[in-house]
Structure 1
Amino acid sequence: MWFVCGARGASKKGKLRVIAGSCYVPEKRAVYPKGHDAHFMCSEKGTISVLNGVGSWVRSGVDHGEYARGLMTSCADDVGKQRAGRVELERVLHKAFRRTLVRGSATAVCTDALAKDSYKVEVREGDVIVAGTDGLFDNMFVKQIRDAAEAGIREGKDLGDIASSIAARTHGNSLDKTMTTPFSKIATKHGKEHLGGKADGITVIVPLIARD
């Protein structure tokens, strides 16, 4: 999941590139301390990716994070070997799926019917993208995330620091038992009483579109 904060006064000189910072706060589980989120960033190829392992595997004694990390490692290796130019992300994911042999599944791997959810969004110099797992978007409203990202950019913070700041606030919300969150609103909408955040792994990636 992601969104873009609009840029202003963009230049048209040079080639677009991506620089990014990230932060990961794993859910506190004694059995699988590394959590179940995984991501990678490759600024040289203008590529970021984030996903999480499917939690229901825990009931079968499977570390759902191991599959997610294996899938991302394979994707990152393949992207790093790509020649200059556009990275064919769907092909990269298909290859990684075939090579990841441990038990498990992840949010980036689904049936053909669901795999049609792909989007193309034009970006320009100065745009800031915020990507993350459900741990972010279950506990922070889009406006809150946008405001935090824009404030960090105005203050001249490093992208990694912006990601860490958003992740820290998200983690605080996830532990709060009284506030209204995106997760609590959806739960209420479906007839389930829930107040506060949802404890989960939290990954935040903050890429900036720049020019050479």
Structure 2
Amino acid sequence: MAVPIFRALIPKSHPPLHSLCPTPSMVDENPKKRRSLFCSPSELNPVRSEVSISVGIHLIPHPNKVDKGGEDAFFISRHNGGLIAVADGVSGWAEENVDPSLFPQELMLNFSYLLEDEEVSINDPQILIGKAHAATTAIGSATVIVAMLERNGLMKIANVGDCGLRVIREGRTVFSTSPQEHSFDCPFQLSSEVVGQTYLDAMVSNVELMEGDVIVMGSDGLFDNVFDREIVSTISRYKEVSEAAKALANLAKTHSVDTNFDSPYALEARSKGFDVPKWKKVLGMKLTGMVENLMILL
């Protein structure tokens, strides 16, 4: 699961920053990771001038996938106002002897090549997804979310599948994306196959940010296991976005293995008619969210 977190800041000059395809070494050397995006600010006034972002990341791969850093990938850039993206590889490809991490990694790499593209330069995340997908040759599929920040404070978002984003302002969630699913546990996804979703299926949103807004972005591993109220309370306890990202990742991991915790995933599953076997109910056990990987960006 990936969780990126970033914060909207008053304009200052920053050196270019590009990060993609998380690996254990990247996580250790740089407090940037995937599966959730976090931004936390100080004062909350409408952004009138150029803005920038402060980003932190934390990654917790599945124990069986540590050697390759998990199956999620991310990309961060301060190009123009800033761009943050998360892609979640679909684990089912492993049954076909295909490495699920390759497709999302190449997709994110293609993002970096397209930053200067004329259509993408006008801050159109949907076009970016389409062109990066068309250029991806790896076998596999992935859900993806992209947030592009204009210097005037407008954030444009496009997502395909169940990666998500929350905007937190003054201790409240003021915006959240909605997952796209064919059915329960079967999200929309970009794929190497002819049959599948394209950039045209992306859900597109625009949000006007205020200075100090906190943006939490991540794959389903975060939102399946952590309620929005827990996200708000967790990030409120940390001044550093990297520490907040780590705390969210650890909380999601803890919830994912707690059979007594009624997670967002468990509640949704029951509403769709899915539940644990009766013998497990007798023991008080509940459904838990699936955490293939955990990545948080701040």
TM-score normalised by L of structure 1: 0.82
Shift of 1:167: 0.5
CA distance, structure 1, for counterparts of residue 288 and residue 42 of structure 2: 31
1:42 is matched with: 77
CA distance, structure 2, for counterparts of residue 70 and residue 60 of structure 1: 19
Consecutive unaligned residues of structure 2, counting only runs of 5 or more, are 1-35, 145-189, 191-195, 277-285
1:177 to 2:177 alignment: no
Q: What CA deviation, in whole Å up to 9, does each residue of 1:154-176 have, x standing for no partner?
A: xx2x2112111111111111111
Shift of 1:137: 0.5
CA distance, structure 2, for counterparts of residue 162 and residue 190 of structure 1: 32
The answer as to whether partners of 2:104 and 2:142 remain within 8 angstroms in 1 is yes
Structure 1 stretches of 4+ moved >3 Å: 1-9, 11-14, 30-33, 81-86
Shift of 1:117: 1.5
1:209 is matched with: none
The answer as to whether partners of 1:179 and 1:197 remain within 8 angstroms in 2 is yes
Equivalent residues, number: 201
Percent identity, aligned pairs only, is 25
Q: What CA deviation, in whole Å up to 9, does each residue of 1:109-141 have, x standing for no partner?
A: 252597141111111111000000000000101
The answer as to whether partners of 1:134 and 1:202 remain within 8 angstroms in 2 is no
The answer as to whether partners of 2:41 and 2:211 remain within 8 angstroms in 1 is no
1:133 to 2:215 alignment: no
CA distance, structure 2, for counterparts of residue 62 and residue 16 of structure 1: 41
1:10 is matched with: 45
More strand by share: 2
The answer as to whether partners of 2:46 and 2:209 remain within 8 angstroms in 1 is no
The answer as to whether partners of 1:67 and 1:106 remain within 8 angstroms in 2 is yes
The answer as to whether partners of 2:275 and 2:287 remain within 8 angstroms in 1 is no
Residue 245 (structure 2) aligned to one of 163, 182, 187: 163
Residue 60 (structure 2) aligned to one of 8, 25, 33: 25
1:187 to 2:245 alignment: no
Residue 102 (structure 1) aligned to one of 138, 155, 170: 138
Higher RCO structure, 1 or 2 (CA under 8 Å, sep 6+): 1
CA distance, structure 1, for counterparts of residue 38 and residue 248 of structure 2: 14
Shift of 1:77: 3.3
Residue 295 (structure 2) aligned to one of 200, 203, 207: 203
Residue 148 (structure 1) aligned to one of 204, 214, 234: 234
The answer as to whether partners of 1:40 and 1:76 remain within 8 angstroms in 2 is yes
Q: Bigger CA drift: 47-56 or 26-35? A: 26-35
The answer as to whether partners of 1:174 and 1:200 remain within 8 angstroms in 2 is no
Shift of 1:8: 4.9
One-letter amino acid matched to 1:182? P
Task: Summarize the Cα distance change of 1:82–1:148 in structure 2 as closer, same or farther, 3 Å threshold.
Answer: farther
CA distance, structure 1, for counterparts of residue 222 and residue 121 of structure 2: 31
One-letter amino acid matched to 1:175? V
The answer as to whether partners of 2:37 and 2:55 remain within 8 angstroms in 1 is no
Question: What RMSD in Å do the two structures reach over aligned CA positions?
Answer: 2.9
CA distance, structure 2, for counterparts of residue 139 and residue 22 of structure 1: 18
Task: Summarize the Cα distance change of 1:74–1:62 in structure 2 as closer, same or farther, 3 Å threshold.
Answer: same
TM-score normalised by L of structure 2: 0.60
Q: What CA deviation, in whole Å up to 9, does each residue of 1:81-105 have, x standing for no partner?
A: 4689643322222221122111011
Shift of 1:31: 9.1
Q: What CA deviation, in whole Å up to 9, does each residue of 1:152-201 have, x standing for no partner?
A: 2xxx2x21121111111111111112111011111222222241532321
